[in-house]
Amino acid sequence: MYKQLVDKLSSNNELSFDEYLMLIEHRDECREYLYSKARDTRDKVYGKKVFIRGLIEFSNYCKNNCYYCGIRRDNNDLQRYRLTADEIVRCADNGYELGFRTFVLQGGEDSHFSDDTFCSIIKRIKDNHPDCAITLSLGERSYESYKQLKEAGADRYLLRHETANEEHYKRLHPADMSYKNRLRCINDLKLLNYQVGVGFMVGSPFQTNDDLAKEMLFLKKVNPQMVGIGPFISHKDTPFRDYENGTAELTTFMLALIRLTLPNVLLPATTALGTIDPLGREKGINAGANVLMPNLSPVDVREKYKLYDGKICTGEEAAQCISCLKLRIEKTGCQIVTDRGDYKIQEAI
C-alpha cells in the first residue's frame, strides 16, 4: 500500500496532500524502499557525484530576532565578529586551492555591509576565480539590492522560507518579520534569474505532520533549484531553549520525499543533520542528497557562528579536512567532485 504510493511519487513526481501525509505518518513501513527510489532518481540525474560548497560565514551580527536562532539580535552571550572584505576574499582563495568551485557567503542580516561592499567582494572573487559560482545567503533584501548583487556576478541565492504555513511562521518569528515579505524575496530572486534555494527546519517548535505535507506542495509549486533542510536544534540562549530537537530520521525521510518530488534539485545533507547524528550526512546522501557544505571560515570565528548548540565545526566537516570527508562519502558509494555543480535543467522527454 505505502510502497505503491512511493511508486506513484517516483513516477509522477508529486502526490496529493493526503498522500504525502500518509507516507509521513507511516514512514516506518516504507522508509528503505523510499530511500532506494530516491537514490535511483538522484543517480539518473546527477550520477554518483556529490557537489561541495565552501561556506564562508562572514558575520554573526544580525538585526533580526528569530526565536530559534543563536545569532539573534537579543543574544548578548555571544561574541560578535565580522570578517573584512580582504579576509572573505582570502577564504575563497584558500577554498579554491582546496578544490572548491562554489563559495557560499552566509551571514546574519548585518547592515554594516552595504550593497557596494558586497558587490565589490563578489567581483573580486569572480576576478580571481572566473570558473567558480557564488552563492549568497544574506537574508531579506530589496529587489534593487538583489539586482545589483546579481549584476556584480552572484549566481545563486539561499533563503529558507522556514515554514510554508503562515500561522506557523508567526510562531517562529517576532512580529517585525513576515511570511509575505519572505515570499516576496523568494519571488524577486526567481524573477532575477538566480538559482534559488529555499528550505525549512524539520521538527521546529509547533510543526505538525500536516505542516510537513504542506511543505511538499509548497516546494512543488515554487520549484526551486536547491532545497536546504535540517533538524531544528535548540540553542540555550534563545526563547526556544526548552523545545525538543528535530530528528535525523524524519529529516532524512523528508530529504527522500524532496528528491522524488523535485528530481533535479540540488539537495544538501546539512551541517545540522551531521550535528544531530554523527552519521547524519551519510544518511542524507543515502536518501538522495547530493551536496555538502563544509566550512571555509577562519578557524577562530567558527565557534562564534552558532545558530544552534553543538554545531560541528572543527572536525571532518571543515573544508581543510576534505580528504576525510571524501573517504566518508566514498563509503556511501558516491564521490565528491570538484565542479561548480550547477542545477541540471530537466530534459524534455
Write out the residues near ligand FES by the rule CB under 6 A: 62, 64, 66, 69, 71-72, 108-109, 139
Query: How is 5-57 classified by DSSP, letter by letter?
Result: HHHHHHHHS---HHHHHHHHHTGGGTHHHHHHHHHHHHHHHHTTEEEE-EEEE
| Distance (Å, whole) CA 301 – CA 304 | 5
Residue 232 near ligand 5AD by CB under 6 A = yes
Interaction pattern, residues 289-308, with ligand 5AD; x per rule: CB under 6 A: ------------------xx
Residues 54-83 that bind ligand 5AD (CB under 6 A): 68-69
160 versus 283: smaller Cβ distance to ligand 5AD: 160
72 binds, among ligand 5AD, ligand FES, none (CB under 5 to 8 A by kind): ligand FES
In the complex, what is the shortest distance from the CB of residue 309 to ligand 5AD, in angstroms, rounded to a whole number?
8
In the complex, what is the shortest distance from the CB of residue 4 to ligand 5AD, in angstroms, rounded to a whole number?
33
In the complex, what is the shortest distance from the CB of residue 276 to ligand 5AD, in angstroms, rounded to a whole number?
9
Task: Name the H helices within the chain.
Answer: 2-12, 17-25, 31-46, 85-98, 115-128, 143-152, 166-172, 179-191, 209-222, 248-261, 271-276, 280-286, 299-302, 322-330
In the complex, what is the shortest distance from the CB of residue 109 to ligand FES, in angstroms, rounded to a whole number?
5
Closest to 284 (Cα-Cα) out of 50, 45, 56: 50
272 binds, among ligand FES, ligand 5AD, none (CB under 5 to 8 A by kind): ligand 5AD
106 versus 165: smaller Cβ distance to ligand FES: 106
In the complex, what is the shortest distance from the CB of residue 181 to ligand FES, in angstroms, rounded to a whole number?
12
Residues 6+ apart with CB under 8 A from 106: 55, 56, 57, 58, 137, 138, 158
Residues 6+ apart with CB under 8 A from 291: 50, 51, 52, 53, 226, 266, 267, 268, 269, 341
In the complex, what is the shortest distance from the CB of residue 107 to ligand 5AD, in angstroms, rounded to a whole number?
10
72 versus 283: smaller Cβ distance to ligand FES: 72
Closest to 156 (Cα-Cα) out of 185, 141, 134: 134
Which window, 25-33, 92-100, 170-178, 232-240, contacts ligand 5AD (CB under 6 A)?
232-240
- Interface with ligand 5AD (CB under 6 A), residue from 57, 155, 162, 316: 162
